[in-house]
């Protein structure tokens, strides 16, 4: 394998930076379509979308880099799955701009499918790297819990969007409290070992 783990981690960091820059650029462009006429509703809607997207990208980065630490020997399968995951992460800004412009079930479907696919790839990588056996450590349980959150939330959003688009869009912001609940639950069940 030509790619070393440290290079994959560096590449992951670089792609995440690109995704954040695209988020800022695309959403800032949406918020300032009329530079001489400030529209508070468009600005705040865009800001809220940016914050939600940034949080998703952050947790994808956190989870993916933590996951890569479990790799003993990088192989073509993990490298390929990681590459596909990173491509999906760079599509998150596109989905969010589409959602801001269209505000339709189709735009939410596109965004949801990106989030579900990226999160599912992280789950596949996790179980591949751990050979299907989740290590009984605090970090492994926390990583697994975090890995489930985003695809689960967006699956629910996708299903709810067929009933009510507004509620489905609001549900995407449940990611933060769910991450907090996952952390509290894992901390209770698998306390971190104290090092002196």
pLDDT digits 0-9 by tens, 1-21: 677 888 888 888 898 888 888
In a domain, 71, yes or no: yes
In a domain, 49, yes or no: yes
Report residue 136's pLDDT band, with 50, 70 and 90 as the boundaries. confident
Residues 186, 188: Cα–Cα separation, whole Å: 5
Cα-Cα-Cα-Cα dihedral sign, residues 64, 88, 7, 71? positive
Q: How many CA atoms lie within 13 A of 165 on its CB side?
A: 10
Q: How many CB atoms lie within 10 A of CB 181?
A: 13
- Chain length of the chain: 196
Residues 57, 195: Cα–Cα separation, whole Å: 31
In a domain, 103, yes or no: yes
Write out pLDDT tens, residues 61-77.
988 888 888 887 788 89
Write out pLDDT tens, residues 19-70.
888 878 776 666 566 666 666 777 777 777 788 888 888 889 988 888 888 8
Helix (H, G, I), strand (E, B) or coil at 184: helix
Distant-in-sequence contacts of 3-9, Cβ < 8 A, 24+ apart: 3/74, 3/79, 4/74, 5/68, 5/71, 5/74, 8/68, 8/74, 8/79, 8/82, 9/65, 9/68
In a domain, 66, yes or no: yes
Which pTM value belongs to this model?
0.83
> For residue 118, what pLDDT is reported?
93
Q: How many domains does the chain have?
A: 1
Residues 118 and 158 sit within 8 Å (Cβ to Cβ): no
In a domain, 106, yes or no: yes
In a domain, 46, yes or no: yes
SS3 percent helix, strand, coil of the chain, rounded to 5, is 80, 0, 20
Please list, in sequence order, all residues whose beta carbon lies within 8 angstroms of the beta carbon of residue 16, skipping any fewer than 6 positions away.
Answer: 57, 60, 61, 89
**Domain that includes residue 56, residue range:** 5-189
Residues 64 and 82 sit within 8 Å (Cβ to Cβ): yes
């Amino acid at each position: 394998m030509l790619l070393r783990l440290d290079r994959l981690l560096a590449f992951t960091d670089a792609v995440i930076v690109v995704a954040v820059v695209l988020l800022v650029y695309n959403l800032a462009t949406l918020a300032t379509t009329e530079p001489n006429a400030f529209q508070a509703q468009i600005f705040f809607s865009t800001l809220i979308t940016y914050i939600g997207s940034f949080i998703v990208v952050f947790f994808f980065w956190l989870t993916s880099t933590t996951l890569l630490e479990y790799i003993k020997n990088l192989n073509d399968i993990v490298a390929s799955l990681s590459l596909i995951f990173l491509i999906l992460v760079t599509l998150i800004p596109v989905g969010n701009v589409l959602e801001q412009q269209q505000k339709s079930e189709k735009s939410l479907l596109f965004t949801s499918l990106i989030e579900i696919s990226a999160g599912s790839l992280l789950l596949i990588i996790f179980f591949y790297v751990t050979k299907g056996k989740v290590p009984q450590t605090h970090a492994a349980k926390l990583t697994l819990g975090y890995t489930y959150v985003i695809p689960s939330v967006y699956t629910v959003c996708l299903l709810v969007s067929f009933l009510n688009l507004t509620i489905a869009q609001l549900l995407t912001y449940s990611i933060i409290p769910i991450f907090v609940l996952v952390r509290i639950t894992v901390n209770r069940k698998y306390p971190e070992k104290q090092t002196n």
